[in-house]
Amino acid sequence: MASSGDEKAVRVIGGWASHYAIRVYIALNLKGVEYEFLQEVVGNKSELLLKSNPVYKKFPVLLHHGKPIAESMIIVQYIDEVWASDGPAILPANPYARAIERFWAQYTDDKIAPASAVLRGATNGDKDEAASQVSTALQNLEEAFVKCSQGKHYFGGDNIGFLDLVLGSHLGWLKAVEKIAGVKFLDESQLPKLTTWADRFYAHPAVRDVMPEADRLVEFNAHLIAVLKAKASK
């Protein structure tokens, strides 16, 4: 395991079901960094979270020797830089390739996250439009995979990279949304490259212990919606 100074040097404020937090856990696993997981309670933000991220008041937050770093993509890049000599590089060394992965990573979060929330009933919106948005995004990412992977196993090439982490962190919720909304997104006939990639991503040692099962996420979603409704009625 990568050295981090002491056992409590790296802590992550997050939630087991959060796709934003999941990418941070996987990044740390890829680098072999030991970390302490600090689970937040739904609907009750901890003092530590509010102190560590007073601007957005959201997790994940990485605490490295007590210093907070917020926003999942920034955290992943920080992990890649701090533990550069441990494990595979997460971001490409080539500036152009790095820019392309950052573009598609932001596209993924912009298109998939909000539409997924609509489809699972966590936010209001047109569900048909949301389903179409996810389908279009995945089709574009299927084409991006061909260009980024250059015939290798991952967007990052031989190893899981930045775009793999970002898109991969959505997979659990995409499978849950398929069950909740009765739609099918990861269809092998429509997305042969992405479905094969998704199976490979799930099976990776850095991923399989932190990626929640779809049925568990379906149950969590029902609890989350109940909490949100209770807060809204106050």
Spell 104-140 as b/e; 16+ CB within 10 A means b: bbebbbebbebbbbbbbbeeeeeeeebbebbbebbee
Question: What is the DSSP annotation of 49-101?
Answer: HHHH-TTT--S-EEEETTEEEESHHHHHHHHHHHTTTSSS-SS-SSHHHHHHH
Say how far apart CA 29 and CA 25 lie, in whole Å.
Answer: 6
Residues 174, 166: Cα–Cα separation, whole Å: 13
Question: Does the domain spanning 95-215 belong to CATH 1.20.1050.10?
Answer: yes
- Tell me the chain's radius of gyration from C-alpha atoms: 18
Q: How far apart are CA 189 and CA 217, in angstroms?
A: 26
DSSP 34: -
Order of strands, edge to edge, in the sheet holding 67-70?
Answer: 36-39, 10-14, 61-64, 67-70
Decide which of 3.30.70.240, 3.40.309.10, 3.40.30.10, 3.30.70.20 is the CATH code for 10-82: 3.40.30.10
Ordered mean pLDDT values, 10 residues apiece, the chain (234 residues): 56 98 98 97 95 98 97 98 96 96 98 97 96 98 96 96 98 97 96 97 97 97 92 80
Find the Cα–Cα–Cα–Cα dihedral 47, 53, 54, 55, rounded to 10°. Answer: -150
Give me the residue spans of the domains in the chain. 10-82, 95-215
Closest CA to 187 of 147, 117, 139: 139
pTM comes to 0.94
Q: What is the pLDDT of residue 182?
A: 96
Which amino acid makes up residue 166? V
pLDDT at position 215 is 97
- Can the peptide bond before residue 60 be classed as cis, meaning omega within 30 degrees of 0? yes
Q: Which residue is associated with the tokens 């072999």?
A: 32
Give me the pLDDT at residue 8, please: 65
